[in-house]
Chains A and B, each alone.
Chain A
Amino acid sequence: MSNGIRVASLDDIPQGEGIAVDKAITGTSDNIALLRDTDDSVYALDDTCTHETASLADGWVEDGFVECPLHSSKFCLKSGEVQGLPATRNACPHRVEVRDGEVYLFPGETP
């Protein structure tokens, strides 16, 4: 069982926003967006919106959802489930843990 990759401090991610972790670090096919909700929970989704090329890390994070910065497709932070058009495909979620103010990412593991 891996301990995950330490990818950021919680303080690196402003509340209601996100940061992208490069795929060179995560080893995944896409970068991974770390998204800090308004209640300070941290979630991780594939960074590229499933609709067009936009970074979800630049999106608006609020009340359990992230809104894509291009066309406002919304995705559930926990499951990646798309909430409505224009995107039609879910975003892939990854497991995240916050320990002692450090954010650990488990790329490819289902939350």
Chain B
Amino acid sequence: MTERVVIVGGGVAGVSTAASLRSGGFEGEVTLVDLGEFPYDRPPLSKDFLAGAKDIKQIALQQSQWYDDQRIRLINRTAVTALRPREAAVELADGHLLPADRVVLATGGGAARPPVPGIDSERVHVLRTADDADRLRPSLVPGARLLVVGAGLIGAEVASTAVRLGCRVDLVDPVAVPLAGALGPELGAWLHGLHAAHGVTTVQASVESFEERRTGIEATLTTSAAPRLYDAVVLGVGMVPCTELAQAAGLEVDRGIVVDERRTTSHPAVLAVGDPARVRRGGVLQPRTEHWEAARHDGARAAATLLGTAPPEETVSWFWTDRHARHVEAVGHMDAATHTVVRGSFDGPSCAVFGLRDGLVVAAASVDDPSAVRAARRMIDRRLPVDAARLADTSVKPRDLLRG
């Protein structure tokens, strides 16, 4: 029987692991070691928290009482500096050894900073933590000139928040249709076009260099346009998984901490969950899934492994994102579809796209029509055969699409 579990990292994967251990009946010690004051939720960092509409307490993943009620020991503002599985312990930054029969690495990731000249300027921001958002917020004042690099999820959300706060926002991405792989080219193009409709200037380009000026930071793009001056820059160009602890402990790492389907690493006493975990399934390394819900499910899966209980059912990956007051959801892998069916009109109040392959739904994306994606998710998980004409028929409610 496992007695002492130490979870490294208080993101949604770490907190979900702790919660799932207790709800699964785990009676041993659960310790969560986190760098922050307390675990908080990250999706609001680019939205309400960045805008100042919510403070850090309002985005706490759990209230402080919860840790007491669940008998979860929270060691805050502390880094784990080494894993010592042979000694059944982890080492903390102050050199103290914390007993750990099993360790769950929920270390998350850091924001990528590509090797672009001048990128280390204080005016160039990233957005992974509440501290990052706190540093960026004072720059987002009316009239401020902001450059957002990368039009994926975080970049698009920051651009949306900033333009609403009155900033003059340029959004650059080298790809013509960002997120096309997740949303499909049609919906991806339409959503990217929303930026311009809301006053964001989109430019298809990369950044060649940054240079500090007295009154701002100058960015030179890969277009022929003259360099432009900005008050601040935000990079949203992907994340780098935090694998250092795993690597130093000699665990298998390959652009992520390699785990089996039960989230056990190459060391049987160490598990990994969330953003940095990379699953090997059927001998094949899968891409990492860098989404909020996947991290939550990972925590439940790791807890089941520690408890020796049946793992939760597999479900296809799902995410949401919000931009310009539109709620976007997507499920599955649109790039696996051979054709798409559009439900509703992109310019209507809501719409959805289903991606099909061999008569089955493999992906879906929606704007302000979450039920369509929730229906699609069940079609994918249950491998339900579908009728394309019914998918497109808005008089058939999403709930009824499952009833055949």
Contacts and interface: CB of A to CB of B under 8 A. Distances in A.
Interface string B36-77: 000001010000000000000000011100100000000000
Contacts of B320: 70-71
B61 A88 contact: yes
Contact of B16 (A15, A69, A84): A84
Contact of B374 (A67, A84, A86, A88): A67
Contacts of B16: 84-85
Interface in A53-102: 58, 60, 67, 69-72, 84-86, 88
Contacts of A72: 293, 318, 374
A14 interface: yes
A85 B327 contact: no
A60 B374 contact: yes
Contacts of A85: 12, 15-16, 19, 41, 61, 296
A70 B370 contact: yes
Contacts of A70: 320, 327, 370
B63 A14 contact: no
B399 A17 contact: yes
Interface residues of A, number: 15
B304 to A, nearest CB: 14
A69 B371 contact: yes
A7 B397 CA distance: 23
Interface in B289-305: 292-293, 296, 300
Contacts of A17: 397, 399
A14 B318 CA distance: 26
A79 to B, nearest CB: 15
A16 interface: yes
* Residue from A16, A17, A67, A72 having most chain B Cβ neighbours under 10 A: A72
B359 to A, nearest CB: 24
Contacts of B63: 88
B397 A84 contact: no
Contacts of B19: 84-85
A94 to B, nearest CB: 23
A77 to B, nearest CB: 15
B381 to A, nearest CB: 12
Nearest to B399: A16
Contacts of A16: 399
A88 B66 contact: yes
A60 B15 contact: no
Contacts of B62: 88
A14 B327 CA distance: 24
A88 B59 CA distance: 11
Given A85-B15, A85-B296, A69 B370 contact: yes
B139 to A, nearest CB: 26
Contacts of A69: 370-371, 374
A101 B397 CA distance: 23
A84 B296 contact: yes
A16 B371 CA distance: 11
A12 to B, nearest CB: 14
Nearest to B60: A88
Given A14-B399, A16-B399, A71-B320, A86 B41 contact: yes
Interface string B17-30: 00100000000000
Given A69-B371, A71-B43, A85-B15, 10 more contacts: A60-B371, A60-B399, A69-B370, A70-B370, A84-B296, A85-B61, A86-B41, A86-B292, A88-B61, A88-B66
* 8 nearest A-B residue pairs (beta carbon): A69-B370, A60-B374, A16-B399, A88-B62, A85-B296, A17-B399, A86-B41, A85-B12
Interface of A: 14-17, 58, 60, 67, 69-72, 84-86, 88
23 contacts: A14-B397, A15-B399, A16-B399, A17-B397, A58-B370, A60-B371, A60-B374, A67-B374, A69-B374, A70-B320, A70-B327, A71-B43, A72-B318, A72-B374, A84-B16, A84-B296, A85-B15, A85-B19, A85-B41, A85-B61, A86-B12, A86-B61, A88-B66
